[in-house]
Structure 1
Amino acid sequence: MTTHSTTPVTVLGLGPMGHALATAFLTAGHPLTVWNRTPAKAAGLVARGAGAAADVESAVRASELVVACLMDYDAVRGSVERAPAADAWAGRVLVNLSSGEPGQARAMARWAGERGITYLDGAVLTPVATIGTPAAAFLYSGDSGAYDSVRAALASLGGSGQYLGDEAGRAAAYELALLDLFAASVAGLAHAFALARAEGIDPVDFGRRAGGTGGLLTAMAPAFGESLAAGNFTGERATIASAASALRHIVAASDAHGLDTGTLTAAKAVMDRAVAAGHGADGYPRLVEHFGAGRE
């Protein structure tokens, strides 16, 4: 491939994230070609010097690095199928930054390989506003040769990019697990505010206090990983039994106000399984193994 500053790049898909990726490449000086099902979305980029391809095959042929950021893996596959000519992909790398499941990433890698397409899967871990800045973060997995060939160009997206190995589904697996944490945390935050409001607590004051409690996760996450790796589930600082007791009070208070307790009762069920299995005196990391229990 050509150098970082001159590698031609094509971006397929100009939703908010795709547009941000394209803007970062253009700002970094890459010759840029874009394609979107709605051509009007390319107007601002074209005004800055990007080329707008009339179809996917033209977009692919224009660049050595093709970055897809579409709704999902099906959309990527459907778009790529619009450039069926084998020679259209010769010497090119397809980097898929669309969100999806690990199994879909692995299937996409197989599908691409069967068609002679050099494929790299990836995940964007930070919001649109971070793209092109030091705060951006990306994960990549799949063909190591592909990653080496486009690594310098991908650096134009800002922040840090980490390669996780040849297993194509690894980046998607990390992304979903991290989104799992975020989604559950947001649901918990919203429920906490609902309970606080039901009790007449000022939301601004509660928000300040909640920030400190939420910050505990920053310290807990690395400790969780270390405990799981070592198989050490000591409950010296906090136990599952005490957490289960506190959760019963939260559920009761929420029920008293008529609040939805679905997420709370689901969490309580996991803790109850752990206690029933004799792990009540263990620390929170022990709960991980109980998410696979009781699902027959």
Structure 2
Amino acid sequence: MSAHTPFQSASVTVLGLGPMGRALAGAFLDAGLRTTVWNRTPGREKDLVARGAIAAPTAEEAIAASELIIICVVNYDASDAILRRDEVTAALKGRTLVNLSADVPGRSRDTGAWAAAHGIRYLDGAIMTPTPTIGTPAGVFLYSGPAALHQEHRPVLDALNGTHTHLGEEIGRAAAYDIALLDLFWTSMAGFTHALALAAAEGVSARELAPYAQGIGTILPPLFAQSAQEVEDGTYSGEGNPLTSAVSTMAHVVHASESHGIDASLMRAAEGMARRAIGLGHGDDGLTRMAEVLGRR
């Protein structure tokens, strides 16, 4: 693509060709980068090779092809199995490794320490949007690690399009954001699927409920901002909806669910946390008090 000619002399290697790895490699190719790919299971590279990618027979040969190495596999067990083989570790020495696999912050810190011990320049990262967004303005990428290293490789990383944010030098910060936001996403989606089951039991179809569920979604962003401020300030305001009122409506959801034989463990867990906060004397506080109670050591 003519718009991306500045990248034609640049190169990148992508290790791991699952759905996200293939999307990353495809975006680099579209941007005009010389892209080398490798996957532990052969065969997934064929469509990328047809688009101009170079398939390396081994991980170490793929690494030798570029100064910047991107690995994106299912978790850090999988990335360790690739990276911590002696010949691969040796090939990585002096090069920059960006790990976009998903795992917990502790694994990111462990990998950062391993990389430092072996002379590997390391950035940890997280992809916060699904594969169709890669290569588009909707993609969201987070990074942590040495700021100078991120800045050095920013032109190539920006070829993926979307937004790229460096969150700080502490290597586990990107994974910390990732795990917290995944917590929000999956509990939200689990709540929605439970709501669909409860609505269906009462004769309301998923399609009928959806517009009203979307209405709930629109009121959440300002509530997130307000709640975050309350947690930062330590105010935990219960004005308008104290915990004592909240647990009453939670109990209604539990009762209605169980009357239809629907598992209510999700809401029972939320109700239990709220009742714990009330039991500690916080009944007049708002739901944000639960974040403080959960974080107590």
Pick from 68, 73, 89: which aligns with 2:71?
Answer: 68
Q: Give the Cα–Cα distance (whole angstroms) in 2 for the partners of residues 151 and 6 of structure 1.
A: 15
Q: Give the Cα–Cα distance (whole angstroms) in 1 for the partners of residues 74 and 265 of structure 2.
A: 29
Distance of aligned partners of 1:64 and 1:258 in 2 relative to their CA distance in 1, 3 Å threshold: same
Distance of aligned partners of 1:242 and 1:111 in 2 relative to their CA distance in 1, 3 Å threshold: same
Q: Give the Cα–Cα distance (whole angstroms) in 2 for the partners of residues 46 and 26 of structure 1.
A: 10
Instruction: Report what 2:243 is aligned to.
Output: 240
Pick from 206, 210, 214: which aligns with 1:211?
Answer: 214
Equivalent residue letter for 1:117: I
Q: Any idea what SS the aligned residue of 1:277 has?
A: helix
**Contact 2:23 2:134 (C-alpha < 8 Å) held by counterparts:** yes
Shift of 1:133: 0.4
Q: Give the Cα–Cα distance (whole angstroms) in 2 for the partners of residues 287 and 199 of structure 1.
A: 31
**Contact 1:89 1:117 (C-alpha < 8 Å) held by counterparts:** yes
**Contact 2:243 2:286 (C-alpha < 8 Å) held by counterparts:** yes
Q: Does 1:291 align with 2:259?
A: no
Q: Give the Cα–Cα distance (whole angstroms) in 2 for the partners of residues 53 and 82 of structure 1.
A: 17
**Contact 1:57 1:82 (C-alpha < 8 Å) held by counterparts:** no
Distance of aligned partners of 1:106 and 1:86 in 2 relative to their CA distance in 1, 3 Å threshold: closer
The list of structure 1 runs, each at least 4 consecutive aligned residues, that deviate by more than 4 angstroms after superposition, is: none
Q: Any idea what SS the aligned residue of 1:215 has?
A: helix
Shift of 1:156: 1.0
Q: Give the Cα–Cα distance (whole angstroms) in 1 for the partners of residues 283 and 108 of structure 2.
A: 38
Pick from 126, 132, 135: which aligns with 2:135?
Answer: 132
Equivalent residue letter for 2:226: A
Shift of 1:289: 1.5
Q: Does 1:220 align with 2:223?
A: yes
Q: Does 1:116 align with 2:119?
A: yes
Equivalent residue letter for 2:248: S
Tell me whether 80-89 or 159-168 shows the greater mean CA deviation.
Answer: 80-89
Structure-to-structure mapping, 1:134-153, within 5 angstroms: 134-153=137-156
Normalised by the length of structure 2, the TM-score is 0.94
Q: Any idea what SS the aligned residue of 1:41 has?
A: coil
Q: Which runs of 5+ in 1 are unaligned?
A: none
Q: Does 1:230 align with 2:241?
A: no
**Contact 2:13 2:69 (C-alpha < 8 Å) held by counterparts:** yes
Pick from 168, 171, 176: which aligns with 1:168?
Answer: 171
Structure-to-structure mapping, 1:49-68, within 5 angstroms: 49-68=52-71
Q: Give the Cα–Cα distance (whole angstroms) in 1 for the partners of residues 157 and 16 of structure 2.
A: 17
Instruction: Report what 1:254 is aligned to.
Output: 257
Equivalent residue letter for 1:35: W
Q: Does 1:15 align with 2:18?
A: yes
Q: Any idea what SS the aligned residue of 1:38 has?
A: coil
Equivalent residue letter for 2:268: T
After superposition, the CA RMSD in angstroms is: 1.6
Task: Report % sequence identity.
Answer: 47
**Contact 1:8 1:31 (C-alpha < 8 Å) held by counterparts:** yes
Q: Give the Cα–Cα distance (whole angstroms) in 2 for the partners of residues 124 and 269 of structure 1.
A: 33
Q: Give the Cα–Cα distance (whole angstroms) in 2 for the partners of residues 274 and 50 of structure 1.
A: 56
Equivalent residue letter for 1:14: L
Normalised by the length of structure 1, the TM-score is 0.94
Instruction: Report what 1:158 is aligned to.
Output: 161
Deviations 1:31-68, CA, capped at 9 Å, x for gaps: 00000012211111111111000001100000011000
Tell me whether 212-221 or 41-50 shows the greater mean CA deviation.
Answer: 212-221
Q: Give the Cα–Cα distance (whole angstroms) in 1 for the partners of residues 234 and 102 of structure 2.
A: 32
Instruction: Report what 2:277 is aligned to.
Output: 274
Q: Give the Cα–Cα distance (whole angstroms) in 2 for the partners of residues 155 and 223 of structure 1.
A: 32
Q: Give the Cα–Cα distance (whole angstroms) in 1 for the partners of residues 266 and 219 of structure 2.
A: 20
Q: Any idea what SS the aligned residue of 2:44 has?
A: helix
Equivalent residue letter for 2:51: R
Q: Any idea what SS the aligned residue of 1:282 has?
A: coil
Q: Give the Cα–Cα distance (whole angstroms) in 2 for the partners of residues 211 and 224 of structure 1.
A: 20
Instruction: Report what 2:87 is aligned to.
Output: 84
Q: Give the Cα–Cα distance (whole angstroms) in 2 for the partners of residues 63 and 83 of structure 1.
A: 19
Q: Give the Cα–Cα distance (whole angstroms) in 2 for the partners of residues 11 and 89 of structure 1.
A: 13
Q: Give the Cα–Cα distance (whole angstroms) in 2 for the partners of residues 83 and 39 of structure 1.
A: 21
